[in-house]
Amino acid sequence: MRIRAYWHLAGILAALISLPAQAFDHAYRDYGGLLDAHVQLHDRQTRGTVDYAALKKDQAKLAAVLDTWSAVEPAAFEGWSRDQQMAFLINAYNGFTLSLILTAYPDLTSIRDLGSLLRSPWKRSFFSLLGAQRSLDWLEHDTLRAHYPDPRIHFAVNCASIGCPALQPRPFAADGLDAQLDAATRQFLQDRRRNHFDAQTGTLYVTPLLRWYREDFKVNGQADRSAWLAQHAEWLADTAADRKRIRQQDFELEFTDYNWNLNDAE
């Protein structure tokens, strides 16, 4: 009886020790509920806004979600699949960006108001993740871009600005991540205010994201923005003739302005 009791107790302890890793919700249901309630897509789903006033009332719920993410141990993270890791990091970037905005909302017009002459808001180490204090730059540049190279990341992370690709009203998740990244890219490239082809001048106007991160847009392993855009002609123009010219790279490349105003539903 004592031996049986010992092994029963050992099994309980083992289950408790492994519980945090098992309990992590890779579907991000609580976070998804917040996004569903407070994020909206407009203009054929190409533009997104956040109801920050309503989200501020749910600030405690968001903080609770972020706390569960901060509690993830590096060893547990390393045991996840690549898609699980990517989804976690993208959601973390977007979720902690929302929390940063709420620290000052409604007394700001742009995320850049939260920086200073000496330090941008993206360099502020204001949250804990994977065992250390982190910044948004660490998430995007030191981690996502460095270890998970994929140009579609630029259309998935959201900097709380009108010029940024829309914050999606649902979390990214490993199950279906590739399709989600494709959808976010398509939605943004179809936004004709930020990406459009002028047939008269032969000019393709695109987001400055492709200027700032030109080395990320690769074809056959080589950085080539024009070739990457040619592969996405279907989403960049509305007529067959214009799409053909883009596929043939028969265009001059120019960049649209970036609107840093807050992506506020108000």
- Whether 21 has a pLDDT exceeding 50, the answer reads no
**CA pair distance 192, 236, nearest whole angstrom:** 8
CA gyration radius for the chain? Answer: 21
Buried b (16+ CB within 10 A) or exposed e, 69-101: beebeeeebeebeebbbbbbbbbbbbbbbbbbb
pLDDT value, residue 224: 98
The closest alpha carbon to 142, from 192, 93, 104, belongs to 93
**CA pair distance 157, 227, nearest whole angstrom:** 23
pLDDT value, residue 6: 43
- Whether 8 has a pLDDT exceeding 90, the answer reads no
How far from each other are the two terminal CA atoms of the chain, in whole angstroms? 67
Q: How confident is the model at residue 20 (pLDDT cuts 50, 70, 90)?
A: very low
40-94 pLDDT, tens digit each: 998 877 789 999 999 999 999 999 999 999 999 999 999 999 999 999 999 999 9
180-220 pLDDT, tens digit each: 999 999 999 999 999 999 999 999 999 999 999 999 999 99
Residue pair 55/11 in contact by the 8 Å Cβ criterion: no
- Whether 9 has a pLDDT exceeding 90, the answer reads no
pLDDT value, residue 14: 41
